[in-house]
Structure formats: C-alpha cells, structure tokens
Amino acid sequence: MPKDDRDAGRRLLDAGLTLLLEQGYYGVGVQAILDAAQAPKGSFYHHFADKEDFALQVIDDYMVGVHQALDASQSDSTRPPLDRVRHFFELVVSGYESEGYLGCLLGGLGQELSGASPVFAEKIDWCLASIGGRLAATLETARAEGTLPPDTDAAALASLLVNCWEGAALRSRLVRSPEPLAQMLQFAFTAAVMCPPTVGSAEGRARTP
C-alpha cells in the first residue's frame, strides 16, 4: 500500500476517535470524518468496508492505547499490586484530560449502540472483559501477598472496578470534570480493602464485564 494511503488510514482513525467521542456513532457522517482527516473522498471505502467496520476499527485502535496503559501500570514492579491497579485508572484519567473529559469510548458507544447492534454489544463487552481480566491478575497477586483478604474474588473485584469506572466516566463527561473519577477511585480502593467481593458471593458469581 502506498505511504500516502497508509497515512490516510491513520488520519481517518485518529479523526474518528475524536468525532465518535464528541458526537457519537449516529451523530457523525462519513464526510465529516473525511473532512476532519483531510483525506481524499475515495479513501474511506478503500480502508473500511462501511461505517460499522470503521467504528469497530476505531475501537480496536482505542484498545491499543488501553493495553499500553495496562502494560505500563501492571508491569511496574516498583509499586505494590493495588497501586498498580489504581495507577492504570490514573493513566486513563490523563488521557481523558487531554480529550476534554469526553469519557470512555467503550462506554459511550456501548450506551448508544449495544441495544441496537449485537455486533457492537459483543465487541464492547469483550473489550471491557479484557481490561477486567488483566486487572484481575494483579488483584490476585494482591490477594496472594495478603494485601487483600484471602477469600477475595479477584475477578469479581476487577469487574466491579470496571463497572464503577464506566459510570464515573459518564458522569465526568456530563460535568466535564475529573472529580467523579477521583471520587470513584477514592471510594473503590477504600472499599476494596475493607470489604471486597468474596468467592461464593453474588458479586463473585457475576460475569466479568
């Protein structure tokens, strides 16, 4: 593929992330994406089968950044396990700040599309589950080291953190402020140590998001 074609695809994905965060899936059209990316008219369907394929690829691209933040935080052996988990969310807050606190792409598109599109519902659920799975591994380390009680259900606790985060991200978007995110982290990590979900509890049996 010629270099300018690759560059056009990259610009379209970058523009798509911003526009989907700002306007949602139904609020933005292909022409607006082309204009924002300063891409030639034929380039959209050269890189993407249709608008649905485009949005799914934007989600994949978004998840690359999410997993980079997970890599950076969860592999940091200088921090205790619970601090690694919290640091991941703090890195995400930094990303939200650079975008003007527009919230989480997964949560926004999930609210908009999951009821109408099984494809998007399955995709976004899988993405959230992958985040929860990686956090659960670190929380399990915290449990094994004694930072969390021995009967803590790490998978359920990770699920709870992800679910609470998505709600806080929505509120952060509404008020365009990091305060709901900070409040969620303070409460969640206090509660995680004081009374985490345990194996056999209703939370423990819940499916990781």
CA 50 to chain centre: 23
Q: What is the pLDDT along the chain (209 residues), one digit of tens a residue?
A: 344 556 899 999 999 999 999 999 999 999 999 999 999 989 999 999 999 999 999 999 999 999 999 999 999 999 999 999 999 999 999 999 999 999 999 999 999 998 999 999 999 999 999 999 999 999 999 999 999 999 999 999 999 999 999 999 999 999 999 999 999 999 998 876 666 677 655 444 444 33
Closest CA to 98 of 158, 8, 14, 13: 14
Residue 145: count of CB within 10 angstroms of its CB: 11
Q: Which fold has domain 1-48?
A: Arc Repressor Mutant, subunit A (1.10.10)
Distance between CA atoms of 48 and 8, rounded to whole angstroms?
12
Phi-psi region of 80 (alpha: psi -120 to 50; beta: other; left: phi over 0): beta
The CATH number of the domain covering residues in 55-205: 1.10.357.10
Give the pLDDT score at 203: 45
Query: pTM above the 0.85 mark?
Result: yes
Q: Given this chain, do its domains 1-48 and 55-205 carry the same CATH topology?
A: no
Domain range list for the chain: 1-48, 55-205
Give the pLDDT score at 4: 54
Angle between helices 105-113 and 3-23 (to 10 degrees): 70
Handedness of CA 7, 9, 15, 18 (dihedral sign): negative
